[in-house]
């Protein structure tokens, strides 16, 4: 114990009593200065403190230092002046002994004070532990940051009371403010930036950028020291003025390398905050930082696993088809030329536009381009521009912020962001609506994207591959496709030959598909007859390799494994197919990779179109107008539904939505 007493006799008396009672006394000081130097030498567990000492400073002045040092003390004084007693109370002594005292009274007071103090320290420790647990619960519960921080603020209230709490979250150059105003015992109003603007008639946003870094530890501000606080936080100044606040504590919490949370507790009363609060915040600093780090790490993990989940979806889609260059079957000159082009351009970041009829292997070539590039270990994201609803394409491509549109409940990253570091394959790019063509062009030019409803620009590193079975130049001429985008995409065009242009590859492909299907179905495959191969080669394959693949798979399915393959249905049974096989003309002008051109091009084309139209109408009648799904016209014709719809559109065949029974006035009827 240390005795701070200027009256020598009393001091000696005290020392004697204490020593005899088993309280070792480390010294006697008669002034403020001497007491501090004794404390510096040896820190006492407790101090007996007189109010009036030698020199200018009093016991009350010393008490303030003791509070800072965290040393408990008991006043021992004859002073009963009211204002002095008020000041004494404010210094939070653990006991008070009135002079003159009896030895018994002194020892009893000492014992009780010591017990109460030890008990209160233990209580405090327990309370602090409970506070930490409550903060962890608040922060790791459900909800967004605004809700979590409100829960955390409520947890603080009994320990560091406040009328207003402002939490600034600084992440690199990005600042977010969360403000809560206490309106009832457990009721808080969330005061966001627009609300501050409305209340103060001042735009608060510019003030954010003027916010300076606060000090490294907790700092207490009162009316006298507010100017320093205002200097650092002009927004804080606005809040203080608007909500008539009188004192504050600012606590910076550095989380990780780049992120800091600034907690500012503000009170309407001038003397709410004390050194005790500062000490409490200091003790809580590490635990809170740990909580925050954990919450941020969880968020990051959740973000990454969501990304991984999305990537997985695509990867699963990917493994369904071949992705290997070697798996592209064919030895024709036309195909070898394509291989040369692929090899040339694969390992660059050049945008490639793959052209060709439906089913010619455009997607396969796109995958080969990716697999032969330096990006092969990164993701290849495919997006089919024809199958997405027009109103969702933008958000699919670029992502959206939460609340960007009705139904955007959560923030979602788009495929461009997902493909970061890898490749994006825009299949059927010719179907992209005009307004999105402008946005795609911007991505290609600036290499940056903006989420729907987002304010920030996100840099991307994505290689773009695109494919279409449309004749894009015609689309440009007819105003359906932007010329500038066309030029951007067609930096390096690769045109795939139709199957009928390379009949020499048909036997190879047929064997390959037959073996593969047999393996898949666990059936033996003993070969194909000469006549079957001839039949395959003669056929015109409007659905190209996809159609061949399907025809062979069907044949393998119905085959018993003991005899050579037979087709499930004859290939010459459609007018559509025969017409095309009779001519070298493409069903869709523009992908002419063959050499010969019929003389009377116009007439042939007209006949061809009429025949095709009749054929499609006949099939549609058979299916009651149904295009998609099993037993639909597309399946019967071995075409993709989108291709069939495209053809119908071209030939002026209207789609009938309600087909049961077919309407008498419709095309189909
Ligand atoms: N040279 C080839 N060797 C083996 N299989 C091929 C070859 N070319 C295409 N295929 C197969 O044919 C089918 C159709 O190919 P793909 O989907 O790449 O065509 P596409 O031109 O992209 O069609 P669409 O324009 O209709 O989307 C796929 O199953 C693909 O694996």
Instruction: Give the sheet arrangement for strand 352-355, strand by strand.
Output: 380-384, 423-427, 463-468, 352-355, 492-495
Ligand 1 atom with the smallest distance to the CA of 505 is 1
Pick from 238, 267, 298: which residue ends a domain?
A: 298
Ligand 1 atom with the smallest distance to the CA of 548 is 12
CA of 360 to the centre of ligand 1 (A): 5
* Continuous segment of H or E residues that includes residue 73: strand 73-77
Residue 183, in any domain of the structure: yes
User: Hunting for tokens 């991505």 — which residue is that?
Assistant: 443
| CATH number (domain holding residue 330) | 3.40.50.300
- Report pTM: 0.48
CA of 208 to the centre of ligand 1 (A): 55
CA of 365 to the centre of ligand 1 (A): 8
Residue 638 pLDDT exceeds 90: no
d(CA 149, CA 505): 66
One domain for residues 22 and 89:
yes
CA of 540 to the centre of ligand 1 (A): 16
Ligand 1 atom with the smallest distance to the CA of 545 is 12
Ligand 1 atom with the smallest distance to the CA of 329 is 3
Q: What is the pLDDT of residues 89-130, one digit of tens each?
A: 888 888 889 888 889 889 988 888 888 888 777 778 888 888
CA of 544 to the centre of ligand 1 (A): 8
Across the strands, what pairs with 248? 221, 266
For residues 535-539, give the mean pLDDT. 90
CA of 633 to the centre of ligand 1 (A): 20
The residue whose C-alpha atom lies closest to atom 23 belonging to ligand 1 is 359
Residue 558, in any domain of the structure: no
Q: What whole-number percentage of the chain has pLDDT above 90?
A: 27
CA of 332 to the centre of ligand 1 (A): 16
Ligand 1 atom with the smallest distance to the CA of 468 is 25
The encoded tokens of residue 382 equal 């495919």
One domain for residues 336 and 452:
yes
| CATH number (domain holding residue 60) | 3.40.50.2300
Residue 430 pLDDT exceeds 90: yes
The encoded tokens of residue 5 equal 């007493």
The residue whose C-alpha atom lies closest to atom 10 belonging to ligand 1 is 361
Residue 94, in any domain of the structure: yes
Residue 24 is given by DSSP the state -
Three-state SS string over 434-458 comes to: HHHHHHHHHHHHHCEEECECCCCEE
Taking CA atoms, 614 is separated from 347, 575, 621, 632, in Å, by 46, 9, 10, 17
Q: Give the chain's radius of gyration (CA, Å).
A: 41
pLDDT at res. 608: 61
One domain for residues 333 and 464:
yes
Pick from 495, 525, 559: which residue ends a domain?
A: 495
One domain for residues 107 and 148:
no
| CATH number (domain holding residue 189) | 3.30.450.40
d(CA 543, CA 546): 6
- What angle is formed at CA 482 by the lines to CA 480 and CA 485, rounded to 5 degrees? 140
One domain for residues 209 and 338:
no
Q: What is the pLDDT of residues 473-515, one digit of tens each?
A: 888 888 889 988 998 898 889 999 999 999 999 999 999 999 9
The residue whose C-alpha atom lies closest to atom 5 belonging to ligand 1 is 328
Q: What whole-number percentage of the chain has pLDDT above 70?
A: 88
d(CA 281, CA 219): 10
Q: Do 400 and 444 touch, CB atoms closer than 8 A?
A: no
One domain for residues 92 and 149:
no
For 472-495, give one letter per residue: b (16+ CB within 10 A) or e: beebbeeebbbeebbebbeebebb
Ligand 1 atom with the smallest distance to the CA of 364 is 18
d(CA 291, CA 131): 12
User: Hunting for tokens 């130097």 — which residue is that?
Assistant: 37
Residue 401, in any domain of the structure: yes
d(CA 490, CA 467): 10
Phi, psi of 547 (to 5 degrees): -65, -45
One domain for residues 291 and 329:
no
The residue whose C-alpha atom lies closest to atom 12 belonging to ligand 1 is 546
Q: What is the pLDDT of residues 445-456, one digit of tens each?
A: 888 888 888 777
Lowest mean pLDDT among 170-184, 237-251, 542-556, 655-669: 655-669
The residue whose C-alpha atom lies closest to atom 15 belonging to ligand 1 is 361
pLDDT at res. 616: 82
The residue whose C-alpha atom lies closest to atom 30 belonging to ligand 1 is 361
Three-state SS string over 127-192 comes to: HHHHHHHHHHHHHHCCCCHHHHHHHHHHHHCCCCCCCEEEEEEEECCEEEEEEEEEEECCEEEECC
The helix/strand/coil state of 260 is strand
Residues with CB under 6 A from ligand 1: 321-322, 328-330, 356, 358-364, 427, 467, 469, 509, 545-546, 549, 640, 643
Q: At what angle do helices 506-521 and 530-538 cross, to 10 degrees?
A: 120
Across the strands, what pairs with 48? 3, 74
Ligand 1 pocket test: which of 332, 357, 360, 427 has the largest number of ligand atoms within 8 Å of its C-beta?
360
One domain for residues 167 and 71:
no
The residue whose C-alpha atom lies closest to atom 25 belonging to ligand 1 is 358
- How many Cβ atoms are within 10 Å of 88's Cβ, its own excluded? 21
Residue 360 pLDDT exceeds 90: yes
The encoded tokens of residue 538 equal 């003669």
CA of 549 to the centre of ligand 1 (A): 9
Q: Do 471 and 591 touch, CB atoms closer than 8 A?
A: yes
pLDDT at res. 587: 37
Residue 34, in any domain of the structure: yes
Across the strands, what pairs with 466? 353, 426
The helix/strand/coil state of 622 is helix
Contacts of 27 (CB under 8 A, 6+ apart): 2, 3, 38, 42
Residue 73, in any domain of the structure: yes
CA of 500 to the centre of ligand 1 (A): 14
Range of the domain at 346: 321-495
d(CA 515, CA 512): 5
Residue 345, in any domain of the structure: yes
26: pLDDT confidence band, cut at 50, 70 and 90?
A: very high
For residues 336-361, give the mean pLDDT. 91
pLDDT at res. 562: 78
CA of 553 to the centre of ligand 1 (A): 14
CA of 546 to the centre of ligand 1 (A): 6
The residue whose C-alpha atom lies closest to atom 26 belonging to ligand 1 is 358
580: pLDDT confidence band, cut at 50, 70 and 90?
A: very low
One domain for residues 180 and 275:
yes
611: pLDDT confidence band, cut at 50, 70 and 90?
A: low
The residue whose C-alpha atom lies closest to atom 16 belonging to ligand 1 is 361
CA of 634 to the centre of ligand 1 (A): 17
Residue 8 burial (10 A CB sphere; 0-12, 13-18, 19+): exposed
Question: What sign has the CA pseudo-torsion 60, 64, 67, 71?
Answer: negative
d(CA 513, CA 453): 47
The beta strands (E) that lie in 38-138 are given as 47-49, 73-77, 95-98
Ligand 1 pocket test: which of 359, 549, 646 has the largest number of ligand atoms within 8 Å of its C-beta?
359
Count of structural domains within the chain: 3
pLDDT at res. 74: 94
Residue 263 burial (10 A CB sphere; 0-12, 13-18, 19+): buried
Across the strands, what pairs with 76? 97
CA of 625 to the centre of ligand 1 (A): 27
One domain for residues 168 and 97:
no
Contacts of 206 (CB under 8 A, 6+ apart): none
One domain for residues 330 and 442:
yes
Question: What sign has the CA pseudo-torsion 477, 481, 483, 487?
Answer: negative
51: pLDDT confidence band, cut at 50, 70 and 90?
A: very high
pLDDT at res. 605: 62
CA of 361 to the centre of ligand 1 (A): 3
Ligand 1 pocket test: which of 330, 339, 361 has the largest number of ligand atoms within 8 Å of its C-beta?
361
Taking CA atoms, 521 is separated from 290, 320, 328, in Å, by 56, 15, 21
Pick from 243, 266, 298: which residue ends a domain?
A: 298
Residue 237, in any domain of the structure: yes
One domain for residues 84 and 218:
no
Lowest mean pLDDT among 348-352, 369-373, 557-561: 557-561
Q: What is the pLDDT of residues 260-305, one digit of tens each?
A: 889 999 999 888 888 888 988 998 898 889 888 888 888 888 888 8
């Amino acid at each position: 114990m240390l005795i701070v007493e200027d009256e020598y006799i009393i001091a000696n008396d005290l020392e004697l009593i204490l020593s005899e009672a088993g309280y070792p006394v480390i010294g006697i000081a008669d002034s403020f200065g001497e007491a501090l130097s004794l404390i510096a030498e040896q820190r006492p567990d407790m101090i007996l403190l007189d109010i009036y000492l030698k020199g200018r400073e009093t016991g009350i002045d010393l008490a303030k230092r003791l509070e800072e040092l965290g040393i408990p003390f008991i006043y021992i004084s004859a002073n009963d002046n009211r204002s002095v007693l008020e000041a004494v109370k404010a210094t939070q002594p653990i006991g008070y002994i009135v002079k003159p005292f009896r030895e018994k009274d002194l020892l009893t007071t000492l014992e009780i004070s010591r017990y109460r103090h030890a008990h209160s320290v233990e209580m405090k420790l327990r309370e602090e532990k409970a506070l930490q647990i409550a903060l962890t619960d608040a922060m790791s519960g459900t909800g967004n940051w605004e809700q979590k921080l409100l829960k955390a603020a409520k947890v603080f209230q009994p320990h560091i009371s406040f009328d207003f709490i402002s939490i600034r979250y600084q992440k690199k150059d990005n600042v977010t403010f969360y403000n809560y105003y206490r309106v009832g015992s457990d009721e808080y109003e969330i005061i966001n930036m627009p609300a501050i603007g409305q209340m103060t008639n001042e735009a608060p946003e510019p003030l954010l950028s003027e916010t300076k870094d606060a000090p490294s530890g907790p700092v207490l501000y009162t009316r006298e020291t507010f100017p320093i606080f205002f200097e650092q936080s002009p927004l804080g100044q606005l809040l203080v003025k608007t909500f008539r606040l009188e004192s504050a504590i600012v606590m910076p919490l550095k989380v990780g390398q780049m992120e800091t949370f600034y907690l500012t507790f503000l009170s309407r009363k001038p003397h709410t905050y004390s050194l005790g609060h500062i000490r409490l915040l200091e003790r809580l600093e590490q635990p809170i930082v740990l909580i925050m780090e954990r919450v941020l790490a969880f968020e990051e993990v959740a973000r990454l696993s969501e990304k991984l989940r999305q990537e997985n979806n695509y990867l699963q889609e990917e493994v369904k088809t071949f992705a290997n260059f070697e798996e592209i079957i064919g030895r024709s000159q036309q195909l070898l030329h394509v291989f040369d082009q692929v090899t040339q351009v694969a390992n660059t970041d050049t945008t490639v536009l793959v052209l060709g009829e439906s089913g010619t292997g455009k997607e396969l070539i796109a995958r080969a381009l990716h697999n032969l590039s330096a990006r092969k270990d990164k993701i290849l994201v495919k997006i089919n521009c024809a199958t997405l609803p027009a109103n969702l394409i933008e958000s699919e491509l670029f992502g959206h912020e939460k609340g960007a549109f009705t139904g955007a409940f959560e923030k979602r990253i788009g495929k461009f962001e997902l493909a970061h570091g890898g490749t994006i394959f825009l299949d059927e790019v010719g179907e992209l609506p005009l307004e999105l063509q402008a946005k795609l062009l911007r991505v290609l030019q600036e290499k940056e994207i903006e989420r729907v409803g987002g304010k920030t620009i996100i840099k991307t590193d994505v290689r773009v591959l695109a494919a279409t079975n449309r004749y894009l130049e015609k689309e440009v001429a007819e105003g359906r496709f932007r010329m500038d985008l066309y030029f951007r995409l067609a930096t390096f065009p690769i045109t795939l030959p139709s199957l009928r242009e390379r009949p020499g590859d048909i036997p190879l492909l047929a064997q390959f598909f037959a073996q593969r299907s047999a393996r898949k179905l666990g059936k033996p495959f003993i070969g194909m007859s000469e006549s079957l191969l001839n039949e395959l080669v003669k056929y015109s394959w409007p659905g190209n390799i996809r159609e061949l693949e399907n025809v062979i798979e069907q044949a393998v399915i119905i085959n018993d494994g003991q005899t050579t393959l037979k087709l499930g249905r004859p290939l010459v049974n459609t007018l559509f197919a025969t017409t095309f096989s009779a001519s070298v003309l493409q069903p869709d002008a523009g992908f002419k990779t063959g050499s010969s051109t019929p003389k009377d091009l116009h007439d042939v084309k007209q006949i061809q179109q009429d025949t095709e139209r009749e054929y499609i109408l006949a099939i549609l009648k058979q299916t009651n107008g149904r295009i998609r799904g099993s037993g639909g016209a597309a399946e019967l014709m071995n075409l993709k539904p989108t291709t069939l719809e495209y053809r119908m559109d071209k030939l002026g065949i209207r789609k009938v939505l309600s087909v049961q029974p077919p309407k008498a006035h419709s095309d189909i009827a």
